[in-house]
Amino acid sequence: MNITTTPLGGGVTVLAVDGRLNVVTAPAMKREVQNVLRQGDVKLAIDLTAVEFIDSSGLGALIGGLKAARTAGGDLRIAGATEQVVSVLRLTNLDKVLRIYESAQSAYGD
């Protein structure tokens, strides 16, 4: 898994994830979210366009990131989720908690 971090300004950062978000890679995701929050960007768009697989550990990393962002006064939104990711979010009812947007740019276009 690779994570590319792109600050957009205004407290918004996009974290583009490539590969599998699972038990092996979830700790790296958690660390990257914490790094971005420490730098002061509290609005996170997690771009999952290139994620081919997510498991419960990956979901845990996203929920942990959401909690950390909200504690810091921000939010975490999902962008460009693949069908596999969307189906897992729906199956676990996490689509009610994690907002899903078509693209990273539309996640904070408000």
Taking only the tens place, the pLDDT of each residue in 21-78 is 999 999 999 999 999 999 999 999 999 999 999 999 999 999 999 999 999 999 999 9
User: Into how many domains does the chain fold?
Assistant: 1
H helix and E strand count, the chain = 4, 5
pLDDT score, position 105: 86
If you average pLDDT over residues 92-109, what whole number do you get? 91
User: Using CA atoms, how far apart are residues 64 and 62, in angstroms rounded to an integer?
Assistant: 5
Instruction: With 0.85 as the threshold, say if the pTM is over it.
Output: yes
42 contacts: CB under 8 Å, gap ≥ 6: 11, 69, 72, 73, 74, 75
CATH number at residue 28: 3.30.750.24
Structural domain boundaries, residue 70:
2-107
pLDDT score, position 5: 96
- Mapped onto helix, strand or coil, the DSSP state of residue 3 is strand
